[in-house]
A and B are shown apart, each in its own frame.
Chain A
Amino acid sequence: MINFQFLRTSIVKTALSLVAKDPKATFIAGGTNLVDLMKRGVTAPEKLIDINQLPLKQIELKNNILHIGAMVSNSALAENAIVKEKFPLLMLALQSGASAQLRNVATVGGNMMQRTRCGYFYDTTMPCNKRQPGSGCGAIGGYNRMHAIFGTSESCIAVHPSDMCVGLVALDAQVVIAGAKGERKINFIDFHRLAGTTPEKDNNIQKGELIVRLEIPVNNLNKNFHYQKVRDRSSYAFALISVAAALELKDDVISTVRLAMGGVAHKPWRLVAAENFLKGKAATLANFEAAAKIAMEGAKAFGENDFKLKMAPNTIIEALTVAKAKA
């Protein structure tokens, strides 16, 4: 049998040192992704450090910045009163993910760290550069309906599957990471990586580091917002395309705008050029359409996901239209 140790600690420092000194050790949070990967033989850690008892479950507002502990469950976060009031976009993104049962145990940190759902990644008899660097990419020339259209590389065209992260990248969140040398802070947009030539690396966290919390500055984006997820069934399916949109409107003129997309890239995809275009412009359908067009510059599809070239801009338009109509 494949044996592994299971250790539990309520002290962050202990958790860090346990993983730092053991190359085959890893954290386990809700386990909804990690255990599947172990069952499918994609990963085989020798030591699991259970971090569920770490004191990282706070949701609190300090100096106009929301602090969210890495161990807060996806449902607890979505149901939190401050989140509902000040960051309803994040609430919608969370509620679009997985199923109620999964959200009850899935954590903020685990959600950020979840691996791609590419079928070839999960099947150890198939080629996959992310699972086994150098073995080839099964999805290129194969089944790639769910795959990326932005920032792809010759080695991997997988997408990051999270909904929560699309909301977070739109909200200018920051990630606080603890390591042997103390804490460091990075912008959420820099947390996940593009595949490039190292598809095995999903993000910029170092081995042995632990996500401890997120920080989101309070904004005025809680009136005109929408998270639009397009999927194959009404719930419990990953996004074909998802769009997080938030507007700050003054007399129908856009003073602030945030746009991000899921289901299109190896990381949650912030639409900076489209945002820049919309800023200062009237919130009209024509401008939304123009912004969607700008957002699609550089998109490249792989056959079975050609439809995303149409679905993505359409979903941007829909998300902006619904966001505008809210009040």
Chain B
Amino acid sequence: MDFFVDENDRVDGIEKVTGKAKYFAEFKLPGLTYGVLVPSTITKGKITAIDIKAAKNAPGVLDVLSHLNKPSAAGYEAGGGSPMKIFYTDEVFFNGQPVALVVADTFERATYAATLVKVSYEKAAFNTDFKKSIADASVAKKQGQPPYVRGVADAYKTAEVKVEQTYEMPVETHNPMELHGIIADWRTNDQVTVYAKTQGVKAAQATIANVFKIPQENIQVKSEFVGGGFGMALRTWPLEIATIMASKQVKRPVKLVITRDQMFTMVGNRPAAYQKIGLGATKDGKITGITHTAFGQTSTYENFTEGVVTMSKFMYASENVNTNYYVVPLDMSVPIWMRGPGEATGAFALESAIDEMAHALDMDPLEFRIKNDPETDPMKNIPFSSKNIKEAYKLGAEKIGWNNRKNKPGSITEGPWKIGYGVSIGVFNASRGRATVKGILNANGSLILQSATSDIGPGTGTGMVLIASRLMNIPVEKITFELGDSSLPPAPSQGGSTTLSTVGTAVNDVCVSLKATIAELAANANMSTTSNFVEVLKKNNLPMIEVTKQSQANQQGKEYSMYSFSIHFVQVKVHNLTGVVKVSKIVSVGDSGKIISPKTARSQMVGGAVGGIGMALTEEALLDNRYGKYVNNNFADYHVPVHADVPEIDVIFIDKPDYIVNPMGAKGMGEIALIGFAGAVANAVFNATGKRIRSLPITPDKVLEG
């Protein structure tokens, strides 16, 4: 099958498309049993009784776990209510909270028995209404992040031209195709193996160790293939702990795979947000003040905040900037980062407001952005390690045909359709952490690299193999990158666009070291220092050499400001009678250093654009606040974009190395692929129609009524 493989293909592509790649739920362990959760049907209150008689008597049922039989977890006895401890108290914090777990010999029997568990409650008053709570100071008063002020606060108010608007973001759910869950298998009384769906095998290992108070090395977490994460697999959820408890209790391996509707309440979401932006500028288009205030949804039992206002602090050259972030605790399950996280929410507001200001000034929004593009980081007062966004603006504008755009909204029509163009920028921290990689160079010509990182889809293995292949001059087929197992050398979780930079740097260091060792061995054996390593190892009678390296966080963070950037250009068509919006062209430009793996990098940008269409036009988890419950918790009613919503996507990379960030010169791009996209669509809708939609998603009804 070699002819399928070229340098750009995914190293695990064939395994994935042939079904050889094994995802967590596919491990068939001997004696496997099945867990099914019983979710609470009230939103807040106390469990007064759980009748498990019928369930326990149902065929095939091994056990029913709940707080009443408090399954053993030594770590739970230490105080503190956060993070949530499953089956620990009688308290119900949100609708759909797991209150019991049924274990049976088949999935069908467990599913049925779960319907027989009768839970009685004492209901309490609850609040899930985000919008109402913003007005209610007793709810929305807690600072989620420290306030930030540069220069004069609220300077926009006295500006020559000002824009003051509010922007709304609904709850979005990650909902990757693969449902969440875990298989737990206790090998002995204090040794457990779990097959997980996680973005961090080491983080999962640490969490489990903490709950069960057993040494980390007694826990093996395997998660080689993950069917999408988007952030929801960045923590080990209470339901995973419940499954591990259950396996301990029934003394057999237990598998839990949650249902699609449970994906809406048990594994986090992108929090709803309400944002106020104040922008001030001079008449000739210099920004003089930015005020960004955000309210973000969180839960009452755990706190969650994210970087909604971050970008406003440094994206534009303004002497005066102030930001605030408040949390709005609701009786709902706790949110978690979703791709692009808070920055994507914030960019929608900021980039819409920038467009509104350009319109108020009668300036081309691209020109307005370029005019206010800072040369150095105005927040930290240091240079950027690299930033090529002027070039990115130019390339993207050419490709989308920006000169066809008219500054006056509603100028271009095509039959019943109005045509508009929009642009927006995305930015995300290009940070680097600490990871360890082990390299084994074999005399048979192969190189094995190992690290306990994850691949939730971006093509981590592919990127690492390409880095090593180029440095070592070894063909990709001879290199294996092993990941997704906690027994490998430690690496951080895959999140925040850091994996390539963090783990890649360790791969780089391993390769540099291996090369030095080979050169040394060659010299010792009186061979030329450029000799092939196979010859060198043979001559030295060595079957292999092994090197382990730990990369460090970037030491130059005080001297340089490091970010990845993206510019999204879109063309939309808006139907003047039905209000339907179609994204008809997309050009996404990535300015993220050197591109290591062009094919998977492009696929990151494409995935971000598709997610961006969802955020802009279709995705919204709808809650009935009378019940505190979602009413569209399925894939028929929660609309992710379908193929017919997605036009041809042009991806352009600046592809200029940034060696300050890391030795490969490459920055992460998982987040920037999405950040800013929704703003570009909203701006294009305005350009097409003159209607400014400040609440996502932009559904046909909002366009008609706007």
Contact = CB atoms under 8 A, between A and B. Distances in A.
A119 B641 CA distance: 20
Interface string B97-132: 000000000001100100100000000000000000
A99 B639 CA distance: 13
A132 B579 CA distance: 36
Nearest to B109: A1
A297 interface: no
A238 B575 CA distance: 18
B626 A240 contact: no
Contact of A314 (B58, B578, B626, B699): B578
A197 B636 CA distance: 29
B17 interface: no
B700 interface: yes
A232 interface: yes
Interface residues of A, number: 35
Contact of A311 (B582, B627, B631, B701): B701
Interface stretch (A72-80, A141-149, A168-176): A141-149
B177 to A, nearest CB: 15
A240 B577 CA distance: 14
Interface residues of B, number: 36
A117 interface: yes
A145 B701 contact: yes
A2 B58 CA distance: 11
Interface in A95-121: 99, 117, 119-120
Contact of A232 (B108, B624, B639, B704): B639
B647 to A, nearest CB: 11
B262 interface: no
B216 interface: no
A277 B578 CA distance: 23
Given A233-B645, A307-B705, A1 B578 contact: no
Nearest to A240: B700
A240 B701 contact: yes
A107 B704 CA distance: 35
A237 B577 contact: no
B577 A317 contact: yes
A232 B704 CA distance: 13
A237 B700 contact: no
B618 A233 contact: yes
A123 B622 CA distance: 14
A310 B637 contact: no
Contact of B112 (A2, A119, A141, A232): A2
Nearest to A228: B578
A44 B53 CA distance: 23
A233 B582 contact: no
B585 to A, nearest CB: 15
B642 A234 contact: yes
Contacts of B645: 233-235
Interface in B70-94: none
A117 B622 contact: no
Interface of B: 41, 58-59, 108-109, 112, 115, 416, 575, 577-580, 582, 617-618, 622, 624, 626-627, 629, 631-632, 636-637, 639, 641-645, 699-701, 704-705
Interface of A: 1-2, 41, 99, 117, 119-120, 123, 125-126, 138, 141-143, 145, 228, 230-238, 240-241, 307, 310-311, 314-315, 317-318, 321
Given A143-B622, A233-B645, A307-B704, 17 more contacts: A1-B112, A99-B642, A117-B636, A120-B631, A125-B627, A126-B624, A126-B627, A141-B626, A143-B632, A233-B617, A233-B618, A233-B642, A238-B636, A241-B578, A307-B705, A315-B577, A318-B578
